[in-house]
Amino acid sequence: MSSAGPGGLPDFPFSLEAIDGRARVGRLETPHGTVITPCFMPVGTKGTVKGMLPAGLKSLGAQIILANTYHLALRPGSDVVRDLGGLHRFMGWEGPILTDSGGFQVFSLLDTADVQDEGVAFRSVYDGSRHLFTPERAIAEQQALGADFIMCFDQCPPATEDRSLVERAVQRTTDWARRCREAHLAAEGRGTGGLQMLLGIVQGGTFADLRRRSAEALLEIGFPGYAVGGLSVGEDRELMLQSTESTVNLLPRERVRYFMGIGDPVGILDMIALGVDLFDCVLPTRVARMGTAFTKEGRLNLRNARFAVDPDPLEDDCDCTACQFFSRGAIRHFVGQKEMLGAQLLTEHNLRHLFRLVDGARAAIREGRFEEYRGSVSAGW
Amino acid sequence: MSSAGPGGLPDFPFSLEAIDGRARVGRLETPHGTVITPCFMPVGTKGTVKGMLPAGLKSLGAQIILANTYHLALRPGSDVVRDLGGLHRFMGWEGPILTDSGGFQVFSLLDTADVQDEGVAFRSVYDGSRHLFTPERAIAEQQALGADFIMCFDQCPPATEDRSLVERAVQRTTDWARRCREAHLAAEGRGTGGLQMLLGIVQGGTFADLRRRSAEALLEIGFPGYAVGGLSVGEDRELMLQSTESTVNLLPRERVRYFMGIGDPVGILDMIALGVDLFDCVLPTRVARMGTAFTKEGRLNLRNARFAVDPDPLEDDCDCTACQFFSRGAIRHFVGQKEMLGAQLLTEHNLRHLFRLVDGARAAIREGRFEEYRGSVSAGW
C-alpha cells in the first residue's frame, strides 16, 4: 500500500491513467481506499461536513474528505480524537481523510497571531486561551488525529501582500517544511490510523519567482506530493490561475498535486485544465446553508420570492435527494424557516453537482475531449 | 382502498390482527400504504422531521408522519403547499401523513386566542397578523394540504382547568366536530391528495363524566376513527392514564384510536396497554436536539463531561447510524459544537429506539406476552 518515497516519507501509490493536454486522470491508493483524481474533497471542518451523514456523502460520490487540525486540536483536542479511536472512527468515515496543518486558520481566524521562526503564538477562537503552533506541534496534532494525508505547517500571507513579507513567508515555510518532514520521520511516518502521507505546500503569493523558489526548495527536501497554497484568498482570478500554472509546471508529473481552496464549478474546471488532481473548499456547503444552489444555469438563491410556488426541482437531470423528491418551492420554505432540511438538501445538491461535474471531467479526459467538455459545461455560467 | 364509513365519511380499512389483554395489533390501509399499529408517528411540524431526510425516516421504520396545520397554513400557506403538488410532494414523503387541525397551537402558542362559538381569533406567531380559525377553515386548510388523515378542530383547555370551562370546551368541540364533518362531506371527503379520513377528538380534561359526554356525542355524529385529546399537557401521569383508560373503554373496538402527544418510552407502553393504536410527540426529536439520547438504561445527556472520551456507542445493540458508526465522545463533541450532525445522529437514534420498542410490543402482543415485555423493558428506566 505504501513505500518510502521522496525524503524517506511514506508514499501512497499514485499512477496516471489518462492525460489530455495538461489535464490528467490519476489513481491514488490510500490505506482507506482508492481515490480517482481529479477529485473534489468536501470539507468537514470540525469533523463533520455540515448537514451530511457519512453514508450520504459516500453515496453522493465523495471519495475523500477534509478535517481541520486547528479546530480539532482545540475542540475536542487531538488527544481526545486519538483516544476515541482516531479521526476515521470519530467522523464515522471509513474512506480516506486529509487534515490541513492549521496554518491557514492560525493566520486568518483572529488577528492576534504572532509569527516567529519557532512557530505561531495565537489565541484560541473558542476561549481566548494562548497556544503555540510549531511545525513539530502541527505534525504531532495531525499524527494524533490520524488522517491518511497530512500537511506541512506553512505561513500563509495574503497572496498580494508586500513582496518582502511574502519572501520571508516562503523562507519560513521552507524551514518549517524541513522540520515537519523530520518530525514525521521521527514517528516513522505514522499516526493513530497508520502510515500518513505528508504533503509540502508551495507558497509565494502571486510572485512567480517566489513560487519558483518555494517549489524548488520543497522539491529538494522531497515530498511524496505537493500542494499549492496561499492562493484563492481574494486576489484576481487571472492572477491566481497564472500563479497556479507557473507553480504546477515546476512540480513533478508523477506526484499528486493539490490546490488548496477552490470550490466553484468554473474554478474547478480551470484547475483540472492546469493539471491539478485534488482540490477542496467550503464554498459549496457554505453557500448551501445560506440558501444557494449550484446549477448548470448558474447559482440559484432559493430565498428569492420567485421560487415560492415553483414546482420544479433544482435541476432537471440531477439524482440527489433534493432534485428527486423536492420542489424549489418546498426547499425555499425550509430555507426560509431555517429548518435543517433546507441546508441538508442544498448541501447534498451542491456536492452532487460538483461530483457530477468532476465525473464528467474525468470521462472527458479519458476520451481526449476535456477542453470541449470544459467549454460546453462552462457556457451556462 | 376506502368506503363510506360512519357519518358517511371516508373510511380506510382497519383490521385487528392480534389482541393481548387490551393491547392490540392492527392493520390500517391508507391510500399511501399500510400502517401496522401500535405505531409511533414522528412529528414534522413545518413539513420536516427536523434533521431527518425522508429516506432516513423510512429506513428507520417510520410508517406515517405528522405535519402541523397551524404552521403550514401560516408558512408557506396551505394553498402554496397545494399548488406545489400537495403535502406528500412538499415533504418528499410517499407514505401516509396525518395533519392535526391547528386547534392545539391556536390555544397554546400565543396567549391571545379569543374563542367564540364561531371559531378562534388569534395572532400569528410569525408576524402578528390576525387570523380566524373556524372548523370550516381548519378542514379547508387540511384539504388543501392533502394529508391522508385529518383532525377535527377542537378546543383544548388545560386538562385540569376549571370544570365549567372544560364543560364548555366539550360542548364546543362537539359542535365543531359536527361542522367539521359537514365541511368535509361537502368536499366529498377529498383533499389535494385524494380521500382523507377525518378523526374526531374526545375532550373533557380529567373529568370522567365529561370525557364520557364528549365521546358519546362524537360517536353519535359518527367518525371512522377517534383521538384522545387534551391530555399529556402537564397533568399528573396517573390521572392522564385513568382518563385515557375511561375514554378508550367508550370507543368502538373496531375503530382506530389515537392518543395525541405521548413520546416517552414508558408512556408509549402504557398507551399500548390501554389499547391505543397511534401516538405522536415531538419529545424524542426535541430532546435529541438538546443532546439527549433514549437508551434502555434511561436518558443520557451527551453534554455531560463524563462522555468526553467514552468510545462506546449510545446503545450496544442499536442499528442506527449513531450507534453503528459513532462513539459517545464524538457525538458529545458534535452536540457541544452545535454541529447539525449531533442533532441528526441523536434524532435518528431516539426515533429508532422508539420504533424498536414498538416493534417489540407488536411482536409481544402477537405472542400473548405483552405484559411480560412491558415489564422487562420498563425495568431499566
B30 Cα to chain A: minimum distance (Å): 21
Q: What's the pLDDT score for residue A233?
A: 86
Interface with chain A: mutation pick from B50, B327, B341, highest number of A CBs within 10 Å: B341
Average pLDDT over residues A149-155: 97
Residue A321 and residue B92: Cβ atoms within 8 Å?
Answer: yes
Q: What H or E segment, with its residue span, contains residue A83?
A: helix A78-83
Residue B104 clears pLDDT 90, i.e. is over it: no
pTM for this one? Answer: 0.97
> By C-alpha distance, which of B204, B269, B202, B259 is closest to B232?
B259
Residues sharing a CB contact under 8 Å with residue B69, sequence separation 6 or more, in sequence order: B78, B99, B100, B101, B102, B138, B141, B142, B145
E-strand stretches of A43-96: 43-44, 65-68
Q: Is residue B239 a part of any domain in this protein?
A: yes
Residue A1 has pLDDT above 60, yes or no: no
Collect all residues of chain B within an 8 Å Cβ-Cβ radius of residue A327.
84-85, 89-90
Per residue in A96-117, pLDDT (tens digit) is 999 999 888 888 877 778 999 9
Residue B380 has pLDDT above 80, yes or no: no
pLDDT tens for A163-213 read: 999 999 999 999 999 999 999 999 999 999 899 999 999 999 999 999 999
Interfacial residues of B (vs A; Cβ cutoff 8 Å): 46-48, 50-56, 75-76, 80, 83-85, 89-92, 308-309, 311, 321, 325-327, 329-330, 332-334, 336-337, 339-341, 343-345
A124, A252: one domain: yes
In a domain, A3, yes or no: no
Residues B211 and B315 both lie in one domain: no
Provide the domain limits for residue B92: 3-280
* Interchain proximity B327–A48, CB inside 8 Å: no
Do B185 and B44 fall into the same domain? yes
pLDDT band at B381 (very low <50, low <70, confident <90, very high): low
B1 pLDDT higher than 80: no
DSSP string, B9-38: -EE--EEEEEEETTEEEEEEEETTEEEEES
Q: Give the residue from B287, B288, B270, B290 showing the smallest Cα distance to B279.
A: B270
Task: Kindly state whether residues A238 and A292 are assigned to the same domain.
Answer: no
Whether B120 and B190 map to the same domain: the answer is: yes
Report yes or no on B347 lying in a domain: yes
Report d(CA A248, CA A233) in Å as an integer: 18
Calculate mean pLDDT across residues B59-77: 98
What's the gap in Å between the CA of A49 and the closest CA on chain B?
A: 8
Best residue of B57, B91, B285, B309 to probe chain A, by most A CBs closer than 10 Å: B309
For B181-225, what is each residue's pLDDT tens digit? 999 999 999 999 899 999 999 999 999 999 999 999 999 999 999
Whether A92 and B325 lie within 8 Å, measured CB to CB: yes
- Residue A260's pLDDT band (boundaries 50, 70, 90)? very high
| Domain membership flag for residue B219 | yes
Q: What pLDDT, in 10s, does the model give residues B315-343? A: 999 999 999 999 999 999 999 999 999 99
Q: Are residues A187 and A40 in the same domain?
A: yes
pLDDT at A231 over 50: yes
CB A250 within 8 A of CB A204: no
Distance, CA of A351 to CA of A347 (rounded, Å): 6
C-alpha span between A215 and A220 (Å, rounded): 9
User: Across the A/B interface, how many CB contacts are shorter than 8 Å?
Assistant: 127
Where is the domain boundary, B280, B309, B325?
B280
Partner-chain residue, chosen from B46, B89, B321, that has the shortest CB–CB distance to A55: B321
Clarify whether residues A270 and A317 are in a common domain: no
Contact B358, B272 (CB under 8 A): yes
Q: What is the CA radius of gyration of chain A?
A: 20
Last residue of a domain, one of B280, B304, B325: B280
User: What residues of A are in contact with residue B341 (Cβ under 8 Å)?
Assistant: 48, 50-53
Question: What pLDDT score does A380 carry?
Answer: 61
Whether residues A270 and A121 share a domain: the answer is: yes
Domain end position, chosen among A237, A255, A281: A281
Residues of B in contact with A309 (CB under 8 A): 80, 83-84
Q: Which residues 6+ apart lie within 8 Å of A163 measured at CB? A: A205, A207, A210
With 80 as the cut, is the pLDDT of residue B97 above it?
yes
What pLDDT, on the 0 to 100 scale, is given for residue A39?
98
| Buried/exposed B189-218: b ≥16 CB within 10 Å, e otherwise | bebbbbbbbbbbbbbbbbbeebbbbbbebb
pLDDT of residue A157: 85
pLDDT for B211 equals 96
Task: Please check whether residue B204 is in contact with residue B213, taking contact to mean a CB–CB distance below 8 angstroms.
Answer: yes
Catalytically active residues of B, by annotation: 100, 280
Beta bridge partners of A278: A39, A258
- Name the 3-class secondary structure at A161: coil
Domain assignment present for B379? no
- B76 contacts in A (CB within 8 Å)? 308, 329, 332-333, 336
Answer whether residue B381 is part of any domain: no
The model's pLDDT over A37-87, given as tens digits with 9 standing for 90+, comes to: 999 999 999 999 999 999 999 999 999 999 999 999 999 999 999 999 999
Say if residue A95 is in the same domain as residue A150.
yes
Does the pLDDT of residue B2 top 60, yes or no? no
Task: Answer whether residue A376 is part of any domain.
Answer: no
Q: Is A312 a catalytic residue?
A: no
- What is the structure's pLDDT at A381? 58
Mean pLDDT of the A278-285 span: 98
Q: Within a 13 Å sphere around the CA of A83, how many CA atoms are in the beta-carbon half?
A: 11
- The CATH code of the domain that includes B35 is 3.20.20.105
The domain tally of chain B equals 2
Q: What is the pLDDT of residue A2?
A: 56
pLDDT of the residue at B220: 97
Cell 474546471, residue located: A269
Is residue A344 located within the same domain as residue A215?
Answer: no
Assess whether pLDDT exceeds 80 at residue A155: yes
Mean pLDDT of A140-159: 95
pLDDT, position B378: 75
* Closest approach of B47 to chain A, Cα-based (Å): 8
Q: Is A380 a domain residue?
A: no
**Residue B166: which of B98, B71, B235 has the closest Cα?**
B235
Indicate whether B66 and B200 sit together in one domain. Answer: yes
Residues A146 and A294 in one domain: no
